[in-house]
Amino acid sequence: MRRVALFLALVLTLVAPVPAAAQGAVPAYPTKPIRFVVPFPPGGPLDITARAIGQKLTEAWGQPVVVDNRPGAGGSLGAELVAKAPADGYTLLMGAVSTHAINPHLYARVGYDPFRDFVPVALVAEVPNVLVVNPALPVNSVAELVALARAKPGYLNFGSGSTGSTGHLAGELFKSLAGVDMVHIPYKGAAPAMQDLLGGQVQLMFDNLASAAPQVKAGKLRALAVTTAQRSPAMPDLPTVNEAGVKGFDLSTWFGVFVPAGTPPEIVAKLNAGIVAALESKELRERLAAMGAEPRAGNTPAAFAAFVRAENAKYARVVKESGAKVD
């Protein structure tokens, strides 16, 4: 009987369920507050959107999602902080075209690798830029602008918020694809650039749609085209630059969520599902639309990763051709 009891005990030991920890399973998530790093100052589109998404995740999961603004170096400082954080799903980055496509080529050094150090979770939104001109400039279409630029090389100038900004690189891409020569005038921020455009000190600008739209509606600027591949719902009658004759032109200010490399796939999948659900809410879609942003619900981590690689390659070419560098 003793031998039988020992045998049964051995059998039960062999067939007993293995504890989750022993199986290497991911523990329940989330069980504590999540830090959502925004690498830009409060009040901008990324910050507003991160707070809105964080609120939706807090409501769905019962754990607070706390936004942590870490601005500096065009977003690179905040991105570096997240790249070095534990890969446990409790530190998120609201990354952007600057952090993952432009800065690695623009700056002499960034403290992270946009691919090796991150896992893309979800593309959140894209904000089109709009090509606007001072009404005193005698052009009413992209074709007329190109014709004028070709007739007078170096005559036209365009402003931007800074060297290496999307407004600057949009102008450089336009010059390359249209085969024209225009002079770039960088400013310390988009607001002073816009003021000089309104005053006629610069002639054109590739500005954020949300900030340019009121000036266009007031008749203080003339809009020629949007920079994205598709027309913007905010200005449906305005053609794209590509439609207007500069073939291959496609540029936007986009942002999306990343986590440190090594984050368990199960956590990445849960974050993606939570963010996509948030983006499908009427409240968040209306908030994005008010900023001229177009939500990108329904995307997968793999699709976002492919998008980031394509954007990085595009801006590598544009930055190189422009000669833009920041030490």
pLDDT (tens digit per residue) in 116-159: 999 999 999 998 899 999 999 999 999 999 999 999 999 999 99
Q: What is the pLDDT of residues 263-297, one digit of tens each?
A: 999 999 999 999 999 999 999 999 888 888 888 87
Question: What's the Cα-to-Cα distance from 99 to each of 83, 183, 188, 196, rounded to whole Å?
Answer: 11, 26, 19, 28
Say yes or no: 120 and 256 in one domain.
yes
**Is residue 24 predicted with pLDDT exceeding 50?**
no
Say yes or no: 89 and 62 in one domain.
yes
Question: Do residues 88 and 119 lie in contact, with contact meaning Cβ atoms separated by under 8 Å?
Answer: no
Q: Which residue has the higher pLDDT, 252 or 60?
A: 60
- What's the number of domains the chain is made of? 2
Q: What is the CATH number of the domain that holds 161?
A: 3.40.190.10
Query: How high is the mean pLDDT of the chain?
Result: 90
Token look-up 């739209």 returns: 213
Contacts of 163 (CB under 8 A, 6+ apart): 106, 184, 186, 324, 326
In a domain, 107, yes or no: yes
Q: At which of 210, 226, 242 does a domain end?
A: 226
Give the largest Cα separation in the chain, rounded.
104
**Is residue 18 predicted with pLDDT exceeding 80?**
no
**Is residue 180 predicted with pLDDT exceeding 80?**
yes
According to DSSP, the residues that pair with 96 across neighbouring strands are 255
**Is residue 1 predicted with pLDDT exceeding 60?**
no
CB atoms within 10 A of CB 178: 20
Transcribe 182-238 into DSSP letters. Answer: -EEEE-SSHHHHHHHHHHTSS-EEEEEHHHHHHHHHTTSSEEEEESSSS--TTSTTS
What's the pLDDT at 3? 55
Segment 187-211 shows an average pLDDT of 93
Q: What is the pLDDT of residues 64-86, one digit of tens each?
A: 999 999 999 889 999 999 999 99
- Per the structure, the complete domain to which residue 70 belongs is given by 34-126+252-322
In a domain, 77, yes or no: yes
CA separation for the pair 14, 10 (Å, rounded): 6
Is the bond preceding 30 in cis, omega lying within 30 degrees of 0? yes
In a domain, 22, yes or no: no
Say yes or no: 121 and 46 in one domain.
yes
Burial code (b: 16+ CB inside 10 Å, e: under 16) for 83-114 equals bebebbbbbbbbbbbbbbbbbbbbbeebebeb
